[in-house]
């Protein structure tokens, strides 16, 4: 299986071309998810709170602080997660153990699917609270653009994180058959061959001299004849 790595990656220790890496669909989705998470986080932090004639700041989403806190949490964690998984994607080919590669792919599947669901909740939650916000609660339409941006990019994040989940599942399905590897190879070591191979070209030589002379005979003895007696 030379030249073919497990779970869609190259052989262990193979170099990664940065240009080719950036052009991969998974990397593009990762960058988009990073940007969308940044917009959701920054929109709420910078303009998601308004002053209603007092020193106390109120959330633009129907004065519901939980809505702003949830949007900030999902955006910030999504931002950090995109950075982590982008680095993991770049270093994936250097992981020698098949078990470790499988764990990394399963972690990506679980987190990406879960975060797509959280962004779906964020979109529904923020849109619901925004629909209940009256113009009187936002004098001069303060924070309206930030609220709409947080809602829109929460929806876009659902698509990108769902796409990352699909790509991770495809990577998992490309995983090599675990039965083809011995325990040493799965742990990062070189595979061993406990028994000699009987296949042609297996590197073992078999003796061709399988016939043995019968006992009580000499190899170079001349034949003897008995003269019949009449």
pLDDT tens digits for range 17-37: 788 888 899 999 999 999 999
The closest alpha carbon to 155, from 135, 127, 197, belongs to 127
The answer to whether 120 touches 158, Cβ cutoff 8 Å, is yes
The answer to whether 85 touches 108, Cβ cutoff 8 Å, is yes
Note the pLDDT of residue 222.
53
Note the pLDDT of residue 205.
47
pLDDT tens digits for range 196-211: 555 455 444 444 445 5
Give residue limits of the domains in the chain. Answer: 33-184
The answer to whether 21 touches 12, Cβ cutoff 8 Å, is no
Contacts with 150 (C-beta within 8 Å, 6 or more apart), sequence order: 39, 40, 43, 44, 48, 71, 75, 126
Provide the residue count of the chain: 230
Note the pLDDT of residue 2.
39
Phi, psi of 2 (to 5 degrees): -65, 140
Whole-model pTM: value is 0.70
Neighbour count for residue 45 (Cβ, 10 Å): 15
Q: How far apart are CA 119 and CA 55, in angstroms?
A: 31
Helix (H/G/I), strand (E/B), else coil: 43: helix
The single residue listed with the structure tokens 């923020």 is 126
The parts of the chain modelled with pLDDT lower than 70 are: 1-15, 53-54, 139-140, 176-230
Note the pLDDT of residue 56.
81
């Amino acid at each position: 299986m030379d030249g073919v790595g497990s779970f869609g990656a190259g052989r262990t220790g193979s170099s990664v071309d940065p240009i080719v890496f950036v052009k991969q669909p998974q990397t593009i989705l990762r960058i988009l998810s990073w940007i969308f998470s940044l917009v959701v986080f920054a929109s709420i932090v910078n303009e998601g709170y308004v002053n209603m004639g007092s020193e106390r700041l109120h959330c633009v989403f129907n004065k519901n602080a939980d809505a702003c806190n949830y949007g900030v949490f999902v955006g910030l964690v999504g931002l950090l997660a995109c950075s982590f998984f982008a680095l993991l994607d770049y270093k994936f080919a250097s992981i020698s153990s098949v078990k470790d590669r499988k764990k990394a792919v399963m972690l990506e599947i679980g987190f990406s699917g879960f975060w797509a669901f959280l962004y779906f909740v964020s979109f529904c939650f923020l849109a619901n609270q925004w629909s209940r916000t009256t113009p009187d609660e936002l004098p001069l339409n303060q924070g309206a653009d930030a609220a709409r941006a947080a809602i829109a990019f929460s929806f876009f994040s659902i698509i990108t994180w769902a796409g990352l989940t699909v790509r991770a599942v495809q990577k998992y399905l490309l995983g090599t058959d675990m039965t083809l590897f011995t325990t040493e190879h799965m742990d990062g070591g070189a595979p061993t061959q406990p028994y000699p191979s009987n296949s042609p070209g297996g590197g073992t030589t078999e003796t061709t001299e399988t016939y043995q002379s019968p006992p009580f005979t000499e190899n170079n003895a001349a034949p003897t004849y008995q003269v019949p007696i009449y």
